[in-house]
Amino acid sequence: MSTTPLLLTEKEVGEALSVSRSALRKLWREGRLVPLKLGRSIRYPAGDVRAFVEGLITEQRG
């Protein structure tokens, strides 16, 4: 079994992307990186975060 978590916290995603919580919230408002709500917790699917980064790379190299 993989040790990579399927769902990441805002803190984990922010650290991985080197962005602030407010930057993550802006991406959420824009619909570019949308988290899941589990009760009062906010979690980002690891696959969505990876796809977001790959999309940025594609945009930059366009």
Q: Per residue, what are the HEC states of 3-53?
A: CCCCEEEHHHHHHHHCCCHHHHHHHHHCCCCCCEEECCEEEEEHHHHHHHH
pLDDT of 1 reads 60
Asked if residue 51 is part of any domain, the answer here is: yes
pLDDT of 3 reads 82
Q: In a structure prediction context, what are the per-residue pLDDT tens digits for the chain, which is 62 residues long?
A: 668 899 999 999 999 999 999 999 999 999 999 999 999 999 999 999 999 999 999 999 97
pLDDT of 46 reads 97
For residue 28, what is the domain's CATH number? 1.10.1660
Contact 16, 53 (CB under 8 A): no
Domain containing residue 11: 7-61
pLDDT of 62 reads 76
Contact 8, 16 (CB under 8 A): yes
Least Cα distance to 13 among 37, 43, 51, 58 occurs for 43
Asked if residue 19 is part of any domain, the answer here is: yes
Asked if residue 2 is part of any domain, the answer here is: no
pTM of the model: 0.87
The number of folded domains in the chain is 1
Asked if residue 1 is part of any domain, the answer here is: no
Asked if residue 32 is part of any domain, the answer here is: yes
